[in-house]
Amino acid sequence: MERAEKRKLEIIATKIRLGVIEGTYHAKSGHPGGSLSIADTLAYLYWEEMNIDPQNPKMEGRDKLVLSKGHCAPALYAALANRGYFPVEELQTLRHIGSRLQGHPNMNDTPGVEMSTGSLGQGISAACGMALAAKLKNDGSRVYTILGDGEIEEGQVWEASMFAAQYKLDNLVAIVDNNNLQIDGPITEVMSSYPITDKFSSFGWHVIPVYAHDFDQLEAAFKEARTVKGKPTAIIQKSIKGKGVSFMENQVSWHGTAPNAEQYEQAKAELTAALQALEQA
Amino acid sequence: MADVKKIATRESYGNALKELAPKYKNLVVLDADLAAATKTGIFKKAYPDRFFDCGIAEANMMGVAAGLAASGMTVFASSFAMFAAGRAFEIVRNSIGYPGLPVKIGATHAGISVGEDGATHQCCEDIALMRTIPGMTVIVPADDVEAKAAVEAAILHNGPVYLRFGRLAAPVFNDPATYHFEIGKGITLRDGKDITIIATGLMVAEAMEAAKTLEAEGIDARVLNIHTIKPLDEELVLKAAAETGKIVTVEEHSIIGGLGSAVADVCSAKCPCQITKIGVNDEFGQSGPAADLLKLYGLSAENIVKTVKEVLGR
């Protein structure tokens, strides 16, 4: 990837992270940790990979993203707002009464949200249905879904994985965000979902392991996925929970806790400094 | 009713899907390895490219149905009531109900008339489960004519619909030439002033038979066929409550949360009256021939007659 292109994506990802901090701080709740770990992936998807039109969110034949790990809505909303689906200022209304930004995504409330998710393990099934519909309509569209490494403990994920392979949904890409932490602790201690790559391989998927915070690797993975025929692709991304905010990184306590005023200022200062450095470079 | 033609409503369901397929080009059908039993196999045989077996994985099936519906497809998802409403409840609630996606759930083998398979497969809780989901329409057809009409009405309804079908052959009493189905509109099968019997599904025919017996004994019973449990035809129910003062509800479902509860909900608020519920009491079913089980659990014309006489003190 060219340097300028990478710089652009890094700036966008930093803005998404700022949006996550804004949203969860003003909501006094929410899930910053896992939202920060998928910021780069969302930047790549919405700015490079997906065929979408923020001015026409229901465009026929568009690509779709289903956020199966729906609790990371703050990142999805920040990506959609920065992409132009709705004003960035609205991120501060996250989880407020009457807001279009519900605690977990609702497709009927928020422009650009393709599926209501939040109950883990369900989004991937809906993504399978959308990918199957795209095949039936032969409209060439692609479907993406992001799951957590804790989420894949849900049995429904493996029901869906069998379905996707059975019906050769090569227009479906599942991204597993492997930050190694779930609410009760490291996934190895709570309920190991490892080996994740082997599991998806044995379920008949094409598997691509990547490091989530490297746009070259993301680009290579998503390009490779487009060449795969006859089977779905799983991108297993090693990521850092809380990525981009020093005191949140790799801390399970930031799974579902909002920053207080002091922490908010510090997180904002760190991300703003990173943003300025990128913009001046 | 020995001379009357009998068809299981699951059969009507499969036939309706096949018959409606040419008219509704976007219609696809999902099943969870029970196509032969739910009768979606009839559709599968005629339209193999529009049928998708999801295997024994009802949770995923409901999610796939949601994704298809979100993409503009007309989708039916089928399994036994126990698994469609029971096992997959939370997926139906969150992936179909919450976003209001127009998935049609075709649930067969409802109630204890499943028969020999026994309690694990006899779902008497599905109406209760489904009617608590906001925006979910719940339909329980009584015979072949009504079931087929309900399938098309469900297609045309822009929202999630739960259709409850039975395994046991049911007498066909509606005349296809004159029958009219409208979601949420109950049907007065027989007028009467002494008491109202409100029935749904397989119990409608039993209620009619009971009313005939009662007539011979000088009791004038009104009979309502409530094919749509939700939204309930409040107007028709309240009119019956006001005019006859006493109601007996009959359903092949738990007395907790089903038709009887829906009727009691509306009457207690708007026209309090004596309501007696006939259904499966707070207990599980058991193995046995369907006809015998129905009698044993009081889901018969005979028990309706007995109950009505008790209520009226005759």
Residue A58's domain comprises: 3-280
**Rounded to an integer, what distance in angstroms lies between the CA atom of residue B303 and that of residue B272?**
24
Reported as a single tens digit per residue, the pLDDT across B11-49 is 999 999 999 999 999 999 999 999 999 999 999 999 999
B162 with B278, same domain: the answer is no
CB pairs under 8 A between A and B: 104
B160 with B205, same domain: the answer is no
**Rounded to an integer, what distance in angstroms lies between the CA atom of residue A257 and that of residue A247?**
13
- State ipTM: 0.97
**Rounded to an integer, what distance in angstroms lies between the CA atom of residue B169 and that of residue B115?**
12
B36 with B161, same domain: the answer is yes
Q: Return the residue of B nearest to A126 by Cα.
A: B67
Closest CA to B285 of B39, B114, B58, B87: B114
B67 with B122, same domain: the answer is yes
**Rounded to an integer, what distance in angstroms lies between the CA atom of residue A249 and that of residue A271?**
13
Question: Is residue A177 over pLDDT 70?
Answer: yes
Supply φ then ψ for residue B250, to 5 degrees.
-135, 125
Question: Is residue B1 over pLDDT 60?
Answer: no
Region B55-76: mean pLDDT is: 98
Interface of A with B (CB under 8 A): 66, 106-108, 114-116, 118-119, 121-134, 136-137, 155-156, 159-160, 162-163, 166-167
Residue A281 has what pLDDT? 83
CB-CB: which of B54, B63, B68 is closest to A122? B63
Task: Report yes or no on B90 lying in a domain.
Answer: yes
Are A170 and A231 within 8 A, CB to CB? Answer: yes
**Active-site residue, B116 included:** no
B155 with B206, same domain: the answer is no
High-pLDDT (> 90) share of chain A, %? 100
Residue B59 identity (one-letter amino acid): A
Q: Token digits for B312?
A: 């009226």
**Rounded to an integer, what distance in angstroms lies between the CA atom of residue A14 and that of residue B298?**
67
Angle at A258 between CA A256 and CA A259, to 5 degrees: 140
| Residues of chain A neighbouring B98 (CB-CB closer than 8 A) | 106, 116
**What CATH number is attached to the domain comprising B154?**
3.40.50.970
Closest CA to B88 of B71, B109, B63: B63
Among B58, B146, B209, B252, the one annotated catalytic: B58
Question: Is B99–A127 a contact, with Cβ atoms under 8 angstroms apart?
Answer: no
Number of domains chain A is built from: 1
Q: Which residue has the tokens 């009226």?
A: B312
Residue B265's domain comprises: 187-306
B167 with B191, same domain: the answer is no
B191 with B295, same domain: the answer is yes
Q: Return the residue of B nearest to A165 by Cα.
A: B54
Q: Does any CB of chain A come closer than 8 Å to the CB of residue B135?
A: no
Q: Which pLDDT band holds residue A189 (cuts at 50, 70, 90)?
A: very high
For an interface test with A, the pick among B26, B28, B29, B71 (most A C-beta atoms closer than 10 Å) comes out as B71
Q: Does any CB of chain A come closer than 8 Å to the CB of residue B21?
A: no
Mean pLDDT taken over chain A: 98
Q: Which pLDDT band holds residue A147 (cuts at 50, 70, 90)?
A: very high
Task: Report yes or no on B313 lying in a domain.
Answer: no
B163 with B197, same domain: the answer is no
Question: Is residue B224 over pLDDT 90?
Answer: yes
**Rounded to an integer, what distance in angstroms lies between the CA atom of residue B242 and that of residue B235?**
10
**What CATH number is attached to the domain comprising B285?**
3.40.50.920
B278 with B167, same domain: the answer is no
Question: Is A129–B70 a contact, with Cβ atoms under 8 angstroms apart?
Answer: yes
**What CATH number is attached to the domain comprising A144?**
3.40.50.970
Number of domains chain B is built from: 2
Question: Is B94–A122 a contact, with Cβ atoms under 8 angstroms apart?
Answer: yes
Q: Does any CB of chain A come closer than 8 Å to the CB of residue B27?
A: no
Residue A66 has what pLDDT? 98
